Structure 1
Amino acid sequence: MNDFSQALSIASSGLKAQSGRLRHVSENIANADTPGYHRKVVSFDLSADTGEVSLGRMTLDPAELREIYDPSHPLANETGHYDGSNVELIIEIADAREAQRSYEANLKMLDQARQMSSSLMDLLRR
């Protein structure tokens, strides 16, 4: 595999991984008010051979669920409490921002490889 196609392959794998991460972050944000919802956390796997990154295993955050007091809620127990979610919106927004920046960096890498390839083709035509 030549350097240009390897650079494109690595950058596209990063784009795929970050878009998957954003999907999980958006699911967490959407379910922040869902009773009993556990936050999803993803990891990344790096291929030592190619340098490509992929979305690894998705795990559930083992943090305690928030206990919410609302005696009128249908899930409330005899004390008026029910289990909320363990999603912290500040953390999810920070994760989304980090994934967005990583996505943009991979996109910039794709653009740089494309520009270099175009410049090389212009040189070869002369």
Structure 2
Amino acid sequence: MRIHHLNCGTCCPLGGRLFDGTSDSAFGHIVCHCLLIETDAGLVLVDTGFGTRDVEHPGRRLSPFFRALNNIQLRPEETACAQVRALGFDPAEVRHIIVTHLDFDHAGGIEDFPVAR
């Protein structure tokens, strides 16, 4: 078994150290930690981060208030789909998704893996 740590979304909310405990600037730096696990039964993704649709059209699902409050940095390379590809896998190889909770920064990318359960 091999486990890959992925950053599937970055938020930089105003408040710096109050949010992340370490930032010296006015803005914090918080990442959405996701895991890609290689198993004998295929790939398992724990959380999905923001999805490709969130990056391409942020206003469709993410309210302006939520985006502004969290100062979300929507980067195509931070989607789980892009990171799975960067590791040399096809996103269709992701067989299972475990979602820890249903916030957009943890479950927004579910639709990027339509064959996963």
More helix by percentage = 1
* Alignment TM class, shorter chain as reference: under 0.3
Greater Cα radius of gyration, structure 1 or 2:
1
More strand by percentage = 2
Under a length normalisation based on structure 2, what TM-score does the superposition of the two structures give? 0.23
Under a length normalisation based on structure 1, what TM-score does the superposition of the two structures give? 0.22
